């Protein structure tokens, strides 16, 4: 008789109940190959913070946030945190997934075992979120040392950042499930670059004319930036609930689409 | 009997133009992603100019260095855009030519020499940079961010700067066997800091003294300062301007020599 | 209790509008060794993937171990060992880690996975490369590692898609030996191959597919009996004369086939036919009498033009 006991039937054969094994593999792969790269990822937002916060901050001085004057560094730091959560989550759920699916054929290997597509999706997203969470902790530490975390509530920015990353990752994976070639992926920067530049990252959106402001507010990064900024500065408004709701809906929608696409994505 | 002299003559003819055949090939390959090149050539400058130039200018009403912020930052944005493409082109496309699609080996199987492959590669990129920098320049003009008539010199300066960063990276990329994340590391630990601490958005004097050396070794800072000189007349001693040109040229020339050597080594081993 | 472990009825797979598998029906009994033969693009790998429940069928019925792949994929796969046509090893892990993590994907304990990994490295003759990266392994070594990997979960059924492509003769025989022993222990084998000797050696029963449809079915001996003669006589007259000579000796043997380089004469007694041809004065430059093989069946069923 076989050494392996058959997993129970769950979610129409989509789930083998062993996402842990995927996470384990992720750790092992990181250890053998690219812990340096993972480590270096932490520096990206920190460099930005030094450059823009200190360099540009020296010229700009302070900025008005809903009536509270805060230093320019304290203004952009949370934005950089949100941006790095977005970038990491999008990278992991698009390029990375696309590569492992179509070139490394890694997911095909995983699916030859008693794992299901859902194990793969859960495992990979968990890994991405873990990594994002670790970066967030590191970045917040740097912020605190530089005196840019103005509120004790800043600590709660970590779960918030993970929620933001999860939102982006789920939508990114849904997007990837429709992609056929690498060329189509070129679309991504076309959406991400303007989001990065215009989402109240470097200055308040009040400088824009009204219609542009509304447009910016449609995109997720703005909500992410605003939300994280509330936690690190301690300047809250009721809009926080709206931002939270935005990401909950985004995550939910992404997950539903991904769940529906799992079969066509993995079991072609 | 084969006519050895005739064969030699024929080969010499193809050899003289070998570099151009390579350029032509790469231009033709570009067709596959030309829409991306064109879109990003127009889209990126527009985004950066609006997002970081016009937008940030609101927070810096007094401008910098005696000129409006947009005028100050414009040349640096142009340079950083072109130099970023330069850095990118020096990494994956070079390794890919040896390792994945192996196009350099295919070309080398003809009469074209490694030196001509390098030459053709660089000429093709010079054409591409000219186009992208030209679009950026025109856009700056449209935004009223180029006070001086010498502003167009930013285009050749950006090419000089791009080669300064591209050729040393390409020399390195031609020598490595496998991408084990070196490119990500270079990108994050060398290229990025260079771009962030090279006086793009603020004068280099704003960064802490212990970080100022980054500007001095960074091609981007020299290119940006040269760009400012020709665009709005940044005042610098003549020797410094010449020194900047010399530094960029030195990077480019030494890089190209190393690059050629790396190509020869890889193609003939 | 010998019942079917695979049952396919009108099994069909379309990629967009392209029909890769076109309504095939077959059964595989427990403990049987079942061969899928067919030219390139016939739909063998596609069929294998559907059995392995990693490709969703377009229509028709399919049960594997009495389960429906559409609803019980993970449960089915827990009992399968799969060697895909193309090695898809994990390039980010080392050789032994490849086996270990694969075992963990099946939910094996670390100790158990480690024990099996070491044992299978031995079998694949890769023990000395255990801590090497995967990339620098030779093609045959990668193949051996993939095969070893498929045995990690001690499967009830093995799906082997061209398992021995790229293996040297020694490795091929070691694998055959292992497969025989697994079969003796009751493991069901499903394999595709382009080596007819391998198919003849390993399969109890064979299905020949072409363009997604079944062309013939039976044991190797049955297939040879049905679709070929006992012997084949091969004669060569030089490429310019083969056709003209063939016309003159068309009545010799049961059937003849003219190839660019030689004429094949299917008959029950090759020596006798050769004597007849020579008697008529057509002395071939070379001649050969051999037993009919599965290759002859294959060529006849799937058409020569594909293989020329
Ligand atoms: N993912 C896919 N998308 C579209 N077409 C596919 C896909 N996979 C296979 N096909 C097509 O289905 C047909 C059958 O392919 P399959 O791989 O099953 O052939 P095969 O019998 O295994 O051939 P070979 O002997 O060459 O391995 C081929 O025409 C192939 O092009
Ligand atoms: Mg196949």
Whether ligand 1 lies within 6 angstroms of the CB of C15 is answered as yes
Task: Give, in order, the Cα–Cα distances in Å from A152 to each of A141, A144, A162, C221.
Answer: 12, 10, 18, 81
**CA C41–ligand 1 middle distance (angstroms):** 5
User: Which atom belonging to ligand 1 lies closest to the Cα atom of C48?
Assistant: 18
Q: Is the predicted pLDDT of residue C305 greater than 50, yes or no?
A: no
For ligand 1, atom 4: residue with the closest CA: C15
**CA C45–ligand 1 middle distance (angstroms):** 7
Tell me what pLDDT residue C307 has.
35
Q: Does C54 touch chain A (CB under 8 A)?
A: yes
Q: Is the predicted pLDDT of residue B1 greater than 60, yes or no?
A: no
Tell me what pLDDT residue B34 has.
82
Quick one: closest CA in B to A41, which residue?
Answer: B188
Q: Which of C26-30, C197-201, C261-265 has the highest mean pLDDT?
A: C26-30
Q: Taking residues C60-67, report their average pLDDT.
A: 94
C210 backbone dihedrals φ, ψ, rounded to 5°:
-150, 135
Domain assignment present for residue B22? The answer is yes
Q: Is the predicted pLDDT of residue C274 greater than 60, yes or no?
A: yes
Contacts of A207 in chain B (CB under 8 A): 55, 58
Q: Report if pTM > 0.95.
A: no
Which residues, 6 or more positions from C126, have their beta carbon under 8 angstroms from its beta carbon?
A: C95, C141, C144, C145, C148
Q: Is the predicted pLDDT of residue A1 greater than 60, yes or no?
A: no
Under the banding of pLDDT at 50, 70 and 90, the label for residue B179 is confident
Rounded distance between C-alpha atoms, residue C91 and residue A28, angstroms: 12
**Which candidate from A106, A108, A114 shows the least CB-CB separation from C106?**
A114
Q: Is the predicted pLDDT of residue B75 greater than 70, yes or no?
A: yes
Task: Give, in order, the Cα–Cα distances in Å from A23 to each of A27, A244, C131, C303.
Answer: 6, 28, 21, 50
**Which candidate from C78, C92, C155 shows the least CB-CB separation from A7?**
C78
> What is the radius of gyration, based on Cα positions, of chain A?
20
Contacts of A18 in chain C (CB under 8 A): 105, 107
C162's tokens: 């061209």
**Which candidate from A44, A60, A183 shows the least CB-CB separation from B192?**
A44
Ramachandran category for residue A60: left, alpha or beta (phi over 0 → left; psi -120 to 50 → alpha): alpha
Domain count, chain B: 1
Which residues, 6 or more positions from A64, have their beta carbon under 8 angstroms from its beta carbon?
A: A204
A71 sits in which H/E element: strand A68-71
Rounded distance between C-alpha atoms, residue C289 and residue C292, angstroms: 9
Task: Give, in order, the Cα–Cα distances in Å from A161 to each of A140, A247, B118.
Answer: 11, 11, 46
Rounded distance between C-alpha atoms, residue C123 and residue C104, angstroms: 20
Under the banding of pLDDT at 50, 70 and 90, the label for residue C78 is very high
Q: Taking residues A242-255, report their average pLDDT.
A: 94
**CA C56–ligand 2 middle distance (angstroms):** 17
DSSP 3-state of B12: helix
Which of C13, C14, C20 most suits a substitution to test ligand 1, by most atoms within 8 Å of the C-beta? C20
Rounded distance between C-alpha atoms, residue A131 and residue A28, angstroms: 14
Rounded distance between C-alpha atoms, residue C55 and residue C14, angstroms: 11
A136's tokens: 């967030």
User: Helix axis angle, B92-99 relative to B154-175, nearest 10°?
Assistant: 40
**Which candidate from A47, A58, A203 shows the least CB-CB separation from B55?**
A203
CB of B184 closer than 8 Å to CB of A40: yes
A80 sits in which H/E element: helix A72-93
**Which candidate from B47, B185, B197 shows the least CB-CB separation from A194?**
B47
Under the banding of pLDDT at 50, 70 and 90, the label for residue C304 is low
Q: Is the predicted pLDDT of residue C2 greater than 60, yes or no?
A: no
SS (H, E, C) chain C: CCCEEEEEEEEEEEECCEEEEEEEEEEEECCCEEEEECCCCCCHHHHHHHHCCCCCCCEEEEEECCECHHHHHHHHHCCEEEECCCCCCCCCCEHHHHHHHHHHHCCCCHHHHHHHHHHHHHHCCCHHHCCCECCCCCHHHHHHHHHHHHCCCCCCEEEEECCCCCCCHHHHHHHHHHHHHHHHCCCEEEEECCCHHHHHHHCCEEEEEECCEEEEEECHHHHHHHHCCCEEEEEECCCCCHHHHHHHCCCCCCEEEECCCCEEEEECCHHHHHHHHHHCCCCCCEEEEEECCHHHHHHHHHCHHHCC
Whether ligand 1 lies within 6 angstroms of the CB of C45 is answered as yes
DSSP class per residue in B127-183: HHHHHHHHHHHHHHHHTT---SGGGGGHHHHHHHHHHHHHHHHHHHHHH-SS-SSHH
CB of A221 closer than 8 Å to CB of A172: no
Under the banding of pLDDT at 50, 70 and 90, the label for residue B27 is confident
Q: Taking residues C296-300, report their average pLDDT.
A: 85
Domain assignment present for residue B6? The answer is no
Rounded distance between C-alpha atoms, residue C90 and residue C75, angstroms: 23
Q: Does A13 touch chain C (CB under 8 A)?
A: yes
DSSP class per residue in B25-57: HHHHHHGGGHHHHHHHHHHHHHHHIIIIIIHHH
Q: Taking residues B56-80, report their average pLDDT.
A: 93
Domain assignment present for residue B8? The answer is no
Which residues, 6 or more positions from A132, have their beta carbon under 8 angstroms from its beta carbon?
A: A85, A88, A89, A161, A162, A165
Contacts of A44 in chain B (CB under 8 A): 188, 192
Domain assignment present for residue B3? The answer is no
**CA A252–ligand 1 middle distance (angstroms):** 36
The domain of B97 spans 14-268
Distance, in angstroms, between A26 CA and closest chain C CA?
A: 9
User: Which atom belonging to ligand 1 lies closest to the Cα atom of C162?
Assistant: 27
Residue found under tokens 């890694």: A106
Contacts of A28 in chain C (CB under 8 A): 93, 97, 101
pLDDT tens string C109-148: 999 999 999 999 999 999 999 999 998 899 889 999 999 9
For ligand 1, atom 26: residue with the closest CA: C40
Whether ligand 1 lies within 6 angstroms of the CB of C38 is answered as yes
Share above pLDDT 70 across residues of chain B, in percent, rounded to a whole number: 99
Q: Is the predicted pLDDT of residue A231 greater than 90, yes or no?
A: yes
Q: Taking residues A91-99, report their average pLDDT.
A: 89
Q: Which of A11-15, B1-5, B78-82, C149-153 has the lowest mean pLDDT?
A: B1-5
Q: Could A32 and C101 be called an inter-chain contact, meaning their C-beta atoms sit closer than 8 Å?
A: no
CB of B126 closer than 8 Å to CB of B82: no
Q: Is the predicted pLDDT of residue B40 greater than 60, yes or no?
A: yes
Under the banding of pLDDT at 50, 70 and 90, the label for residue A184 is confident
Domain assignment present for residue B138? The answer is yes
Domain assignment present for residue B9? The answer is no
pLDDT tens string A107-129: 989 999 999 888 998 898 899 89
CB of C150 closer than 8 Å to CB of C79: no
Under the banding of pLDDT at 50, 70 and 90, the label for residue C308 is very low
Q: Which A positions 57-96 lie with beta carbon below 8 A of chain B?
A: 58-60, 63, 72
Distance, in angstroms, between B10 CA and closest chain A CA?
A: 40
Domain assignment present for residue B85? The answer is yes
Domain assignment present for residue B210? The answer is yes
pLDDT tens string C206-253: 999 999 999 999 999 999 988 888 899 999 988 888 888 888 888 888
Which of C19, C44, C191, C211 most suits a substitution to test ligand 1, by most atoms within 8 Å of the C-beta? C44
To test the contact with chain A by mutation, choose from C57, C91, C93, C105 the residue with the greatest count of A C-beta atoms within 10 A, namely: C105
Q: Which of A230-239, B30-39, B82-91, C252-261 has the lowest mean pLDDT?
A: B30-39
A69's tokens: 């004057």
For ligand 1, atom 19: residue with the closest CA: C41
Q: Taking residues B172-187, report their average pLDDT.
A: 87
Which residues, 6 or more positions from C292, have their beta carbon under 8 angstroms from its beta carbon?
A: C224, C228, C229, C230, C231, C232, C266
Whether ligand 1 lies within 6 angstroms of the CB of C42 is answered as yes
Quick one: closest CA in A to B197, which residue?
Answer: A51
Under the banding of pLDDT at 50, 70 and 90, the label for residue C306 is very low
What structural domains does chain C harbor? 4-219 (3.40.50.300), 229-291 (3.30.70)
Q: Could B201 and A55 be called an inter-chain contact, meaning their C-beta atoms sit closer than 8 Å?
A: yes
Q: Does A68 touch chain C (CB under 8 A)?
A: no
The chain-wide mean pLDDT, for chain C, equals 90
Q: Could A186 and B33 be called an inter-chain contact, meaning their C-beta atoms sit closer than 8 Å?
A: yes
For ligand 1, atom 5: residue with the closest CA: C15
């Amino acid at each position: 008789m076989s050494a392996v006991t058959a997993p129970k039937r769950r979610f129409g054969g989509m789930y083998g109940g062993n996402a842990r094994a995927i996470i384990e593999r992720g750790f092992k792969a990181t250890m053998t190959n690219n812990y340096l790269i993972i480590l270096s990822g932490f520096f990206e937002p920190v460099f930005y913070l030094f450059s823009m916060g200190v360099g540009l901050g020296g010229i700009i001085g302070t900025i008005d946030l809903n009536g509270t004057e805060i230093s320019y560094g304290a203004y952009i730091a949370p934005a950089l945190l949100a941006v790095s959560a977005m970038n990491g989550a999008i990278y992991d759920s698009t390029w990375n997934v696309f590569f492992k699916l179509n070139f490394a054929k890694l997911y095909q290997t995983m699916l030859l075992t008693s794992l299901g597509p859902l194990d793969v999706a859960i495992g990979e997203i968990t890994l991405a979120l873990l990594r994002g969470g670790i970066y967030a902790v590191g970045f917040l530490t740097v912020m605190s040392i530089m005196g840019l975390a103005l509120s004790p509530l800043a600590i709660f920015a970590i779960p918030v950042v993970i929620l933001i990353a999860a939102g982006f990752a789920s939508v990114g994976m849904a997007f990837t499930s429709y992609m056929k070639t690498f060329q189509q992926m070129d679309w991504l920067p076309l959406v991400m670059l303007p989001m990065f530049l215009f989402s109240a990252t470097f200055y308040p959106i009040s400088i824009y004319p009204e219609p542009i402001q509304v447009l910016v507010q449609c995109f997720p990064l703005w909500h992410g930036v605003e939300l994280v900024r509330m936690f690190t500065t301690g300047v809250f408004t009721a809009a926080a609930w709206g931002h939270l709701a935005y990401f909950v809906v985004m995550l939910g929608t992404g997950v539903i689409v991904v769940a529906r696409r799992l079969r066509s994505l993995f079991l072609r | 009997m084969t006519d050895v002299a005739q064969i030699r003559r024929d080969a010499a003819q193809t050899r003289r133009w070998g570099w151009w055949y390579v350029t032509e090939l790469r231009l033709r390959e570009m067709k596959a992603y030309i829409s991306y090149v064109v879109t990003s050539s127009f889209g990126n400058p527009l985004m950066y100019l609006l997002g970081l130039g016009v937008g940030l200018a609101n927070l810096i009403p007094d401008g910098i260095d005696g000129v409006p912020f947009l005028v100050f930052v414009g040349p640096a944005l142009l340079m950083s855009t072109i130099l970023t493409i330069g850095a990118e082109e020096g990494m994956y496309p070079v390794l890919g030519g040896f390792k994945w699609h192996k196009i350099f080996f295919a070309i080398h199987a003809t009469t074209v020499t490694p030196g001509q492959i390098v030459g053709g590669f660089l000429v093709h990129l010079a054409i591409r940079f000219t186009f992208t920098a030209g679009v950026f320049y025109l856009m700056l003009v449209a935004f009223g961010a180029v006070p001086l008539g010498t502003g167009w010199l930013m285009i050749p300066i950006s090419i000089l700067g791009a080669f300064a960063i591209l050729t040393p990276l390409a020399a390195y990329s031609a020598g490595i066997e496998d991408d084990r994340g070196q490119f990500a590391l270079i990108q994050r630990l060398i290229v990025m800091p260079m771009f962030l601490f090279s006086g793009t958005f603020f004068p280099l004097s704003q960064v802490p003294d212990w970080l100022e050396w980054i500007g001095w070794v960074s091609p981007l800072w020299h290119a940006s300062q040269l760009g400012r000189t020709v665009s709005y007349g940044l005042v610098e001693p003549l020797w410094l301007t010449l020194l900047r040109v010399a530094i960029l040229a030195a990077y480019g020339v030494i890089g190209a020599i190393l690059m050629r050597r790396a190509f020869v080594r890889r193609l003939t081993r | 209790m010998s019942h079917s472990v695979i049952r396919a009825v009108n099994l069909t797979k379309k990629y967009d509008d392209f029909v890769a598998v076109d309504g095939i029906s077959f059964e595989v009994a427990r403990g049987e060794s079942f061969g899928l033969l067919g030219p390139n693009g016939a739909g063998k790998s596609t069929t294998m993937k559907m059995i392995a429940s990693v490709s969703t069928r377009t229509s028709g019925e399919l049960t594997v171990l009495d389960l429906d792949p559409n609803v019980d994929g993970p449960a089915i796969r827990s009992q399968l060992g799969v060697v895909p046509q193309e090695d898809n090893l994990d390039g980010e892990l080392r050789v032994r880690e490849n086996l270990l993590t694969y075992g963990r994907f099946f939910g094996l304990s670390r100790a158990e996975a480690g024990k099996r990994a070491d044992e299978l490295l031995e079998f694949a003759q890769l023990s000395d490369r255990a801590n090497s990266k995967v990339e620098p392994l030779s093609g045959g070594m990668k193949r051996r590692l993939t095969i070893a990997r498929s045995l990690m979960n001690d499967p009830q059924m093995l799906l082997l898609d061209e398992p021995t492509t790229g293996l040297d003769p020694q490795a091929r025989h070691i694998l055959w030996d292992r497969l025989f022993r697994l079969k003796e222990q009751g493991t069901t084998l499903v394999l595709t191959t382009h080596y007819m000797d391998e198919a003849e050696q390993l399969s109890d029963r064979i299905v020949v597919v072409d363009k997604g449809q079944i062309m013939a079915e039976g044991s190797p001996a049955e297939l040879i009996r049905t679709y070929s003669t006992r012997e084949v006589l091969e004669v060569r007259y030089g490429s310019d004369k083969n056709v003209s000579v063939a016309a003159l000796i068309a009545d010799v043997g049961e059937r003849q086939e003219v190839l660019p380089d030689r004429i094949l004469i299917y008959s029950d007694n090759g020596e006798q036919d050769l004597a007849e041809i020579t008697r008529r004065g057509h002395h071939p430059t070379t001649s050969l009498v051999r037993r009919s093989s599965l290759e002859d069946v294959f060529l006849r069923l799937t058409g020569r033009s594909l293989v020329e």
